[in-house]
Amino acid sequence: MRSLAAASGGTIQEVHVQSIDRVDAIVIGAGMAGLYQLYRLRELGLSIRVFESGGGVGGTWYWNRYPGARFDSESYSYGYSFSEELLQEWNWSEHFAPQPETLRYLNFVADKFDLRRHIHFDSRVTRAIFDEDRGSWEIETGDGRRARARFLITAVGPLSAPTLPRIEGRESFKGESYHTARWPHEPVDFSGKRVGVIGTGATGVQVIQEVAKTAGHLTVFQRTPNWCAPLHNSPIEPERQAEIQASYPEIFEKCRESHGAFLHAADPRSALEVSAEERVALWERLYAEPGFGIWMGNFSDILVSEEANALVSEFMRGKIRARVRDPEIAEKLTPKNHGFGTRRVPLETGYYEVYNQDNVLLVDVLEAPIQRITPDGVETGDATYELDLLIHATGFDAITGAFDRIDIRGRAGRTLKEKWADGPRTHLGLQSAGFPNLLTLVGPHNAATFCNIPRCIEQNVEWVTELLRYMRDHQYQRIEPTESAENEWTKHVYEIAALTLLSRTDSWFTGVNQNLPDKKHTFLAYAGGSPAYRARCNEIAAKGYEGFVLQ
Ligand code: NAP
């Protein structure tokens, strides 16, 4: 039997492969997006096969099992909205649920809708080749499976390709060592141990505040401090549960109207048009409220006006100073190279107070960079830190990384990685020219990358499902965006990004990851907001999929 390499014009090899599974659609990933896409396409009457690299459903919530992992979105704004029965059956225990509960929820969904039988677990897609003659995609997995389908739908997640620090000697460390996104399934005991954490992004902040509770000693290696804000989590009492269950339509409507599909809508006023007292009053209120209000419910210009941003940053600086006893440590914890909200804001529970504990040490690795990791610990420019356990909270090859890790070849054998080497080019963040019938849920330049993600996942999945219904009803076999529609969307993405301070700040939104020196620094998300994005997607569909060629 010919291998995929043969179909793509590569060397013909004889390989021992299983027979090809032929279905209507292949979905890569069984996280929140993949599960819902599976559900919808099955409802449409299509045959589907899902390939999932993990041993279970859940994606992000399957892999990120580190202590302290939990939602930063209100639980009831995060769950699926498509099934009233599911909404009424599931009770979230906390306003911001911890990871084990979310994973239980996604398993519950998979069982309730009998989704597992369509999923191959422990099966990582390594190649996906478009066969021009057949007009279909063929995929190969690491465990030797092959499948062919007219449609290939990626649900690979924007933050699913972890990156380890590029530090000499990393592998020589002889203690326990984990990346937060590849955390063991068994509990990890920190008691009495000398623990080190590298990284202070949203993950680092969650893991640090948790580990500090039991570690014998904790050393935090911080390169860039982030502006963190209180989560204010609490249990959901039974009466509140009943209220939530009665008000799901309003909850989801509120999300639909807000820029990031959160329960927090921006204050339409400018921070500059109100008095100093009014400004501070709003900020104090938002700082005391649960969730992302301080980021998403703030004055409308804090992420576009440097002047407004400087004011809110000064307010946040005051909070750090008030919470951290040692002024020198407070200063180190205060970001200097970016304003509040221009990177993803980590939400925290007692994070700053951790640095008041005797068993916690903050090491500023901007001041004294890490030189190497040794069998016994970490060496910086001016000291050696002996450790029993080292945690890498060092982030991801964001948004494009999971695509790059699959050999995806479209028309004429061109790889997606080559095509996106200078930055992604897509139409709506859902398709890329030269890759017919490949649909990228939560792909680059898609609003779902800057969103309360399940809300935008539902929009992406429903749009794709309607597209496939339309194609079936009109007997179209193939869809691909035009170059001009793709150019226009890509230009629009960058123009919108340029209006915000986010595009001027190094972060995973802008493709900056110092462990990936070859990664192009370019805006990877879509900052125009979920209502505008949804409207554009709907308009395009209503015009018979304008900007796409249907054959
Ligand atoms: P991240 O924001 O990219 O943070 C990675 C951290 O590691 C940064 O502090 C980075 O420092 C540091 N780092 C990387 N390599 C290093 C090195 N060689 N030496 C020293 N420091 C190094 O990744 P993340 O914290 O995993 O978060 C990624 C995203 O996941 C978040 O922004 C969020 O969207 C999502 N997330 C969500 C939740 C939630 O919803 N509750 C929780 C966690 C994460 P520099 O900044 O200096 O590069």
> For 250-293, how does the pLDDT look when each residue is reduced to its tens digit (9 = 90+)?
999 999 999 999 999 999 999 999 999 999 999 999 999 999 99
Cα 148 to ligand 1 centre (Å): 36
- Is the residue at 138 inside a domain? yes
Q: What is the pLDDT of residue 470?
A: 98
Smallest CA-to-CA distance from 451 within 76, 158, 253 is with 158
Beta strands in 246-376 (DSSP E): 347-348, 360-364, 370-374
Q: Is the CB of 159 under 6 A from ligand 1?
A: yes
Examine residue 169 and state whether it is found in any structural domain, yes or no.
no
Q: What is the CATH number of the domain that holds 142?
A: 3.50.50.60
334 touches 225 (CB < 8 A): yes
User: Do 412 and 542 sit in the same domain of this protein?
Assistant: yes
Residue 515 CB less than 6 A away from ligand 1: yes
- Of 392, 422, 454, which marks where a domain is finished? 392
Cα 158 to ligand 1 centre (Å) = 13
Ligand 1 and 107: CB distance under 6 A? no
Q: What percent of the chain has pLDDT over 90?
A: 96
CA of 121 to the centre of ligand 1 (A): 27
Asked if 207 and 151 sit in the same domain, the reply is no
From 92, 329, 96, 351, select the one nearest 230 (Cα to Cα). 351
**Are 387 and 402 found together in one domain?**
no
Q: Measuring CA to CA, which residue among 307, 362, 366 is closest to residue 337?
A: 366
Ligand 1 within 6 A of CB of 391: no
Domain that holds residue 223: 194-238+261-392
Cβ of 72 less than 6 Å from ligand 1? yes
- Whether 322 and 384 map to the same domain: the answer is yes
- 322 and 422 together in one domain: no
C-alpha of residue 69 to centroid of ligand 1, in Å: 13
Is any atom of ligand 1 closer than 6 Å to the C-beta of 344? yes
Q: How far is the CA of 515 from the centre of ligand 1 (A)?
A: 12
Domain co-membership, 213 together with 362: yes
Is 32 inside any structural domain?
A: yes
* Structure confidence at residue 4 as a pLDDT band (50, 70, 90): very low
Atom of ligand 1 nearest to the CA of 513: 48
Q: What is the pTM of this model?
A: 0.96
> Which of residues 344, 371, 392 is at a domain's end?
392
Please report whether residue 498 resides in a domain: yes
Residue nearest to atom 36 of ligand 1 (CA): 202
Does residue 415 line the site of ligand 1, with CB under 6 A? no
Can you give the pLDDT at residue 178? 98
Tell me if 22 CB under 6 Å of ligand 1: no
pLDDT in tens, 311-339: 999 999 999 999 999 999 999 999 999 99
Looking at the 3D structure of the chain, how many domains does it have?
A: 2
How far, in Å, from the CA of 536 to the mean position of ligand 1?
A: 31
Query: How many A from CA of 60 to the centre of ligand 1?
Result: 14
Which one has a higher pLDDT value, 364 or 11? 364
Confirm if 72 and 48 have CB atoms less than 8 A apart: no
Cα 198 to ligand 1 centroid, rounded to whole Å:
9
Whether residues 325 and 427 fall in one domain:
no
Lowest mean pLDDT among 14-18, 21-25, 507-511: 14-18
Q: What is the pLDDT of residues 471-523, one digit of tens each?
A: 999 999 999 999 999 999 999 999 999 999 999 999 999 999 999 999 999 99
Domain boundary among 392, 419, 444: 392
Amino acid at 514: Q
Assign 215 a pLDDT band (cuts: 50, 70, 90): very high
Domain membership of residue 7 (yes or no) is: no
pLDDT digits over 83-119, tens only? 999 999 999 999 999 999 999 999 999 999 999 999 9
Residue recorded with tokens 């979310």: 102
How would DSSP label each residue in 392-435? Answer: E---B-TTTHHHHTSEEE-GGG-BHHHHTTTS---BTTTB-TT-
Atom of ligand 1 nearest to the CA of 73: 40
Does residue 410 share a domain with residue 328?
A: no
Residue 287 forms part of a structural domain:
yes
* Residue 479 three-state SS: strand
User: Which atom of ligand 1 approaches the CA of 508 most closely?
Assistant: 3
In a domain? residue 95: no
* CB contact set of 196 (below 8 Å; sequence gap of 6+): 218, 219, 220, 221, 377, 378, 385, 387, 389, 390, 391
Nearest residue CA, atom 31 of ligand 1?
202
Q: Is the CB of 224 under 6 A from ligand 1?
A: yes
For residue range 149-174, list pLDDT tens digits in order. Answer: 999 999 999 999 999 999 999 999 99
Q: Which residue has its alpha carbon closest to ligand 1 atom 45?
A: 224
Closest-lying ligand 1 atom to the alpha carbon of residue 165: 18
Say how many Å lie between the CA of residue 203 and the centre of ligand 1: 6
Q: In whole numbers, what is the pLDDT of the chain averaged over residues?
A: 96
State whether 527 and 491 are in the same domain.
yes
Whether 87 lines ligand 1, by a CB cut-off of 6 Å, is no
**For residue 204, how far is its CA from the centre of ligand 1 (angstroms)?**
7
Residue 105 lies in a domain: no
Query: Which pLDDT does position 483 carry in this prediction?
Result: 98
205 alpha carbon to ligand 1 midpoint, in Å? 9
Q: Give phi and psi for 103, each to the nearest 5.
A: -65, -40
Judging by beta carbons within 10 Å of its beta carbon (0-12, 13-18, 19+), is residue 172 exposed, middle or buried? exposed
Same structural domain, 325 and 198: yes
Ligand 1: which of 166, 394, 507, 516 to mutate, most ligand atoms within 8 Å of CB? 394
Question: Do 201 and 345 fall into the same domain?
Answer: yes
Q: Please give the share of the chain, as a percent, with pLDDT higher than 70.
A: 97
Q: Does the beta carbon of 233 sit less than 6 angstroms from any atom of ligand 1?
A: no
Distance 522 CA to ligand 1 centre (A): 18
| Distance between Cα 469 and ligand 1 center (Å) | 39
Q: What is the distance in A from the centroid of ligand 1 to the CA of 226?
A: 10
Q: What is the mean pLDDT of residues 391-414?
A: 98
Q: Which of 364, 384, 372, 382 is nearest to 223 (CA)?
A: 364
Mean pLDDT of 390-398: 98
- Among 9-13, 118-122, 414-418, which stretch is predicted with the lowest mean pLDDT? 9-13
In order of 2, 17, 376, 380, the CA distances from 20 in angstroms are 11, 8, 49, 53
512 CA: nearest ligand 1 atom: 48
How many angstroms from the chain centroid is the CA of residue 16? Answer: 36
Task: Report whether residue 370 contacts ligand 1, using a CB cutoff of 6 Å.
Answer: yes
Q: What is the pLDDT of residues 441-481, one digit of tens each?
A: 999 999 999 999 999 999 999 999 999 999 999 999 999 99
**What was the pLDDT predicted at 18?**
64
| Cα gap 390→204, rounded to integer Å | 12
pLDDT band at 5 (very low <50, low <70, confident <90, very high): very low
Q: Is the CB of 397 under 6 A from ligand 1?
A: no
Above 50 in pLDDT, residue 10?
Answer: no
230 in the same domain as 324? yes
